[in-house]
Amino acid sequence: MAANEPRTPALRRGAWRSGWYGAAHALPSPNHGPRPADSAVSLIVVHSISLPPGEFGGDQVQALFTNTLDWDAHPYFQQIRGIEVSAHFYVRRDGTPWQFVSCDDRAWHAGASRFRGREQCNDYSVGIELEGLEGGQFEPAQYATLARLCRALARRYPIDAIAGHEHVAPGRKHDPGPGFDWPRLRRLLRWPAGRFAEGALG
């Protein structure tokens, strides 16, 4: 099996096993670690990513998260050469979800971050990357998958907030950006406004 080939989900759709979600293609990343013992999973952080920026449909994101990206395949990759990052989930333009790290573990997605006075968001959050360009538009299928995933996470973990990378690392990060429709996601989730980062809903 190639490094970036998905493992067919073995779990019933919507089921969980040790932090792995049955509806997602599982492709384990080495870029993770244990959560602090006292850190409950209470936050969802939404990101956007495409490699190279603005190009969709390839397997470069999967390769990045599994440390198998060919750094010489595109000039842009020299800017990120050698980084070791991951997210828990990645949602393709067609809505297909991938998972790289168990939600019971700490993925390396938010970096230096702070939310509602609490530092180190990686310790207590789940990171979800959407295939897209920072500031660009996202597909209906992605919103639908994201909403299903958020609901599934909230059933398993004590999720009480959702934010963008731009909200937890303001000035340093700007994704998913102004093209992401937070009110649309709220309508799909039917979550109270207080669960969303300040400024997300306009």
Catalytically active residues are 129
Beta strands in 61-156 (DSSP E): 89-91, 97-99, 105-107, 114-115, 118-119, 125-131
How many Cβ atoms from other residues are within 10 Å of residue 10's Cβ? 10
Is 164 exposed, middle or buried, given 0-12, 13-18 or 19+ CB atoms closer than 10 A? Answer: buried
Element of type H or E holding 161 = strand 161-164
Question: How many CA atoms are closer than 13 Å to the CA of 71, on its beta-carbon side?
Answer: 8
CA distances from 104 to 7, 41, 90, 100, 122 (A): 19, 8, 17, 12, 12
Contact between 141 and 93 (Cβ < 8 Å): yes
